């Protein structure tokens, strides 16, 4: 009889346990989630950069969740990242967007970098009223503008980069007047040349030539020969990524160019240094970022990203872009107190204050691109000194009217 009782107790406990599991699961399932699509090149020629963006976005999502996610009308939400590979091709871009929008039913997407990749999937997201926060864009109306009301950008890009880079040139090298711009042929050529001319004219500089190159150029010597034939005082690297700009910078130095290499883009100074070598690189500056946690001018938001990514295996420049994208989406959702993307978009573009890893920003772009869908904050001037040290020199606030 005693054993029988014991068995009854054991069975009863087991039954309670089995019943409790679905309850627990139900409790877990009660945690509401907001999926964020991460549209990135996991494969293809731009995967090197965009896997870093992806990693930054995923880390940003975990960071937001640790802080409690967002609260919308009293309900707590956490974010979930959903990654789709755009393969760095227009077809892959469209397919990835379709999977995110129609299979995964996301309403918020981050990415991608390359203009023609972003253009390729706008046709999927805009009609579906899916908000996408792109990594990068130019002024071109087919990339961002009033015809693309659900396309936002939180990271500084070409519009914000060229001016400050040239401004620093005039401060450090006042006698440098003739500029050659090197342009990676990625669909941004015309926009880049227009912006460069405008910014040069403002500062009494002259663009003497634009030289285009393919991102997969085998040997840059023919291109750098062409650039140097125009006898520039400084060379502006307008766009591209380190996979091309690093060997380009190396070729320029090897061919005897000793003037300033001005990067109007956000290329990683440590990567450029690795390829070119500290004996030749300076004078050089970029809007890419120092990762010196001891630098008091770097900003607490940026240091938070660097620390977090270091703990996850290592910080890479482009982590910042992904992080900025998910963080700004979260702030817009919380401000709007809604998951309706039309409400979120309308609220977002009116925000006078929005936090980014680069510091406090505001929404801008109404006069320039027809819609206030760009987050304007500040760009860094990061110089590589002759000693080989990478030093954050200053922040320059930027605004796009």
Partner 1 sequence: MQLFVQTLINGLVLSSIYILVALGFALIFSVMQVLNFAHGSVYMVGAYVTYFVGSIFGLPPWGAIALSAGVMALFGVFLEGCGFRILAKDFNRTLMFSLAVIVLLQTTADVTVGGVLRHVPSVLPGLTRVGTVTLSKERVIACVIAIFLLILVNLLIRKTGLGREMIAVSLDRTASALQGINVHRVSAFAFALSCALASVAGGLMGSITRLDAYMGDAMLVKALALVIIAGMGSIGGLFVSGLIVGFIDATLPIYFGAAGGEVAATAFAILILVIRPQGLFGQEV
Which residues make up the interface to partner 1 (CB under 8 A)?
Answer: 42-45, 47-48, 51-52, 185, 212-214, 216-223, 225-226, 229, 242-243, 246-247, 250, 254-256, 268, 271, 274-275, 277, 316
- The smaller minimum CB distance to partner 1, of residues 151 and 245, is found at 245
Q: Which residue lies nearer to partner 1 by CB, 41 or 344?
A: 41
Q: Nearest approach, Cβ of 340 to partner 1 (angstroms)?
A: 36
Element spanning 345, H or E: helix 341-348
Query: What is the distance between the alpha carbons of residues 136 and 320, in angstroms, rounded to a whole number?
Result: 12
Smallest distance, Å, CB 290 to partner 1? 17
Q: Cβ of residue 81: shortest distance to partner 1, in angstroms?
A: 17
Q: Which is nearer to partner 1, 75 or 216 (CB)?
A: 216
What does the alpha-carbon distance between residue 19 and residue 215 come to, in Å, rounded to a whole number?
59
Give the span between the Cα atoms of 233 and 248, in whole angstroms: 17
What distance in Å separates the CA atoms of residue 336 and residue 351, rounded to the nearest whole number? 10
140 CB-contact burial (10 Å; exposed 0-12 / middle 13-18 / buried 19+)? middle
- For residue 393, the minimal CB distance to partner 1 (Å) is 23
Cβ closest to partner 1, residue 47 vs residue 110: 47
Q: Which two tokens stand for residue 234?
A: 């400084």
Residue identified by tokens 């001005």 is 262
Q: How far is the CB of 371 from partner 1 (least distance, A)?
A: 33
Tokens of 209: 């030539």
The strands making up 374-376's β-sheet, listed across from edge to edge, are: 354-356, 359-364, 374-376
Other C-beta atoms closer than 10 Å to the C-beta of 197 total 17
**CB closer to partner 1, 23 vs 387:** 387
Indicate the residue among 132 and 291 with the shorter CB distance to partner 1: 291
Cα three-residue angle 344-348-350, rounded to 5 degrees:
130
- Nearest approach in angstroms of CB 213 to partner 1 is 5
Task: Between 35 and 212, name the residue whose CB sits nearer to partner 1.
Answer: 212
H helices of 233-268, in order, are 242-254
Q: How far is CA 169 from the centre of its chain?
A: 24
Other beta carbons within 10 Å of 388:
12
The residue whose two tokens read 């320039």 is 368
What is the DSSP secondary structure assignment for residue 234, as one 8-state letter? Answer: E
Two structure tokens written together for 138: 């130019």
Q: Whose Cβ is closer to partner 1: residue 225's or residue 342's?
A: 225
CB of 141: closest distance to partner 1 in angstroms? 25
Question: In the bound complex, what is the minimum distance in angstroms from residue 372's beta carbon to partner 1?
Answer: 34
């Amino acid at each position: 009889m005693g054993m029988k009782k014991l068995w009854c107790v054991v069975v009863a406990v087991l039954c309670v346990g089995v019943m409790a599991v679905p309850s627990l699961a139900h409790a877990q399932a009660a945690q509401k989630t907001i999926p964020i699509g991460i549209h990135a090149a996991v494969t293809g020629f731009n995967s090197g950069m965009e896997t870093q963006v992806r990693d930054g976005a995923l880390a940003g999502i975990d960071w937001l969740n640790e802080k409690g996610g967002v609260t919308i009308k009293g309900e707590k939400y956490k974010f979930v990242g959903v990654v789709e590979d755009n393969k760095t091709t227009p077809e892959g871009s469209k397919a990835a967007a379709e999977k995110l929008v129609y299979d995964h039913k996301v309403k918020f997407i981050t990415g991608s970098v390359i203009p023609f990749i972003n253009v390729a999937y706008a046709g999927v997201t805009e009609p579906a009223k899916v908000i996408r926060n792109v990594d990068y864009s130019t002024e071109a109306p087919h990339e961002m503008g009033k015809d693309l009301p659900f396309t936002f950008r939180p990271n500084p890009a070409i519009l914000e980069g060229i001016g400050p880079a040239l401004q620093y040139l005039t401060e450090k090298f006042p006698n440098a007047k003739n500029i050659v711009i090197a342009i990676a042929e990625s669909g941004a050529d015309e926009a880049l040349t227009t912006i460069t001319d405008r910014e040069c004219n403002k500062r009494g500089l002259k663009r003497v030539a634009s030289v285009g190159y393919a991102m997969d150029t085998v040997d840059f010597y023919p291109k750098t020969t062409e650039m140097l034939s125009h006898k520039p005082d400084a060379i502006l690297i307008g766009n591209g990524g380190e996979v091309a700009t690093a060997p380009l910078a190396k070729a320029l130095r090897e061919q005897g160019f000793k003037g300033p290499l001005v990067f109007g883009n956000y290329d990683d100074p440590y990567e450029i240094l690795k390829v070119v070598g500290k004996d030749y690189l300076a004078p050089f500056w970029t809007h890419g970022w120092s990762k010196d946690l001891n630098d008091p001018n770097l900003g607490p938001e940026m240091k938070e990203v660097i620390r977090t990514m270091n703990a996850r295996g290592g910080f890479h420049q482009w982590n910042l872009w992904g992080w900025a994208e998910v963080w700004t989406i979260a702030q817009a959702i919380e401000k709007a107190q809604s998951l309706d993307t039309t409400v979120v978009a309308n609220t977002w573009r009116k925000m006078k204050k929005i936090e980014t890893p680069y510091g406090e920003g505001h929404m801008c772009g109404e006069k320039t691109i027809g819609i206030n869908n760009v987050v304007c904050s500040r760009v860094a001037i990061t110089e590589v000194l002759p000693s080989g040290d990478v030093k954050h020199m200053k922040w320059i606030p930027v605004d796009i009217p």
